[in-house]
Amino acid sequence: MLKFFSVRSLWLTLAVLFLSVASFGQIGVAITIGPPPIPVYEQPPCPEEGALWVPGYWAYDYDFSDYYWVPGTWVMAPEVGFLWTPGWWGWGGSAFIFHEGYWGPQVGFYGGINYGFGYWGTGFFGGEWRGGAFFYNSAVWQVNTVNIRNVYVNRTVIVNNGSHVAFNGGEGGISARPTPREEAAANERHIPPVAAQTQQAQEARSNPELRASANHGKPSIAATPKPGAFRDRGVVSAREAGGAYTSPANRGEAGRDNGQQNRAVHPSELPPNVRPAAPTTGNAKLDRKYQKQQDKLIAKQNKERQKLQRQQDREHKSAEQQKVSDESKQQMEQRHQQQTQQLQERHVQQQQEMQSRQQPRR
């Protein structure tokens, strides 16, 4: 599992299990399919001085087992000097996990994802704070210089990542790792997404057109001029999808071809457990302790897999000896699949809870 899993994100996701409204990451079922590519779209002009661009991203709706697009929008910074670090999806060894974005004095790690508009995988090039005012880089952001005077032009920015892939790790994911500066930014004081961002995510979740299965990676509302302004004249549609869209069903077939069973029936068909990287706390003794805890958890989970596999093997053998009907065999396989998925979900949650306990206190 990757570093920098947000503790707040974990508790928010656990709470969502008991609430129907979801804005950001959740834990309910293991998400074994990554989000679609980031769509290609234009940025609406900045509506007012002090607003910062928050790029669009794919969130996940467990009620529909589908990703949905949360349009990019302009949001007022919660504090002078604060910048936005986008959230990102990362492969955690058994499932994809959403790492929630945050406001802070520096832009931290956002998975190497190319969100565009100055968020090109690492760093930030959309502007900078000078004293108590934000100055916009008009070479990167759409700014009306008649209404906004704090503008400069810097065309010597470097686009670090030309990919539209929307997740880090896993099959086909970005392989970026945090830089020392991004690691330092993760330990600074942060502010979670503000109410306007939560509103934007809730509006997106309630719009069926923004589900990936409906728009095939090309949302009709890719960006809004202000949070919640989904019917505003300034709404921007995606010009094109960031890549070929593959439905979850077809992705499942591709996963089986690569030995990645998305709907495993038996524990032996699950991908192997991989120990996540322990967080670097600066205390070598504590880091070794965390690694031992993770190794112990992986060993325990492997034993539970083996135990369930042996139990299911015995049931298979008994069914053959008793020459049960095909209908009974089918019911048994359905029960085995449910047992296996419940085991996988429990293991993912255990790993996430351990990661949250091992994060340094901010």
Domain count, the chain: 2
Centroid of chain to Cα 198: 16
- Same structural domain, 251 and 269: no
Helices (runs of H) and strands (runs of E) counted in the chain: 7, 14
Would you give per-residue pLDDT tens digits along the chain (362 residues)? 333 334 344 434 433 333 333 333 333 345 888 999 999 999 999 999 999 999 999 999 988 889 999 999 999 999 999 999 999 999 887 788 899 999 999 999 999 999 999 999 999 999 999 989 999 999 999 998 788 889 998 866 666 556 899 999 888 899 889 999 998 988 899 999 999 999 999 999 999 999 999 999 999 999 999 999 999 999 999 999 998 887 765 444 333 333 333 457 788 877 776 666 556 667 888 878 888 888 888 889 989 999 999 999 999 889 888 988 888 888 888 888 888 888 888 888 788 777 777 765 54
Phi, psi of 181 (to 5 degrees): -65, -40
Token reading at 212: 């990936």
- Same structural domain, 222 and 314: no
Vertex 249 angle, CA 243 and 250, to 5°: 50
Give pLDDT, residue 157: 63
> What's the start-to-end Cα distance of the chain, in Å?
20
In a 3-state reduction of DSSP, which class is residue 267? Answer: helix
- Same structural domain, 228 and 106: yes
Domain that holds residue 164: 7-255
Whether residue 108 lies inside any domain: the answer is yes
Vertex 97 angle, CA 39 and 297, to 5°: 160
Q: What is residue 107's DSSP assignment?
A: -
In a 3-state reduction of DSSP, which class is residue 320? Answer: helix
Which of 204, 229, 255 corresponds to the end of one domain?
255
Vertex 56 angle, CA 54 and 61, to 5°: 125
Whether residue 100 lies inside any domain: the answer is yes
CA distance 330 to 235: 50
In a 3-state reduction of DSSP, which class is residue 70? Answer: strand
- Same structural domain, 343 and 246: no
DSSP class per residue in 161-207: ------EESSTT-B-----HHHHHHHTS--BPPPHHHHHHHHHHHT-
In a 3-state reduction of DSSP, which class is residue 40? Answer: strand
- Same structural domain, 276 and 229: no
Cα-only R_g, the chain: 22
CA distance 339 to 343: 6
Which of 255, 275, 302 corresponds to the end of one domain?
255
Q: Determine how β-strand 73-76 pairs with β-strand 167-168.
A: unpaired
- Same structural domain, 166 and 86: yes
Whether residue 1 lies inside any domain: the answer is no
As a dihedral over the C-alpha atoms of residue 148, residue 110, residue 35, residue 218, rounded to 10 degrees, the angle is: 20
Give pLDDT, residue 320: 86
- Whats the size of the chain, residue-wise? 362
- Same structural domain, 298 and 348: yes
Q: Which residue has the tokens 């719009």?
A: 207
Which of 255, 288, 321 corresponds to the end of one domain?
255
Sign of the C-alpha dihedral, residues 31, 37, 41, 43?
positive
CA distance 133 to 323: 78
- Same structural domain, 201 and 305: no
- Same structural domain, 133 and 225: yes
Q: What is residue 211's DSSP assignment?
A: B
- Same structural domain, 287 and 320: yes
Give pLDDT, residue 104: 95
Give pLDDT, residue 239: 94
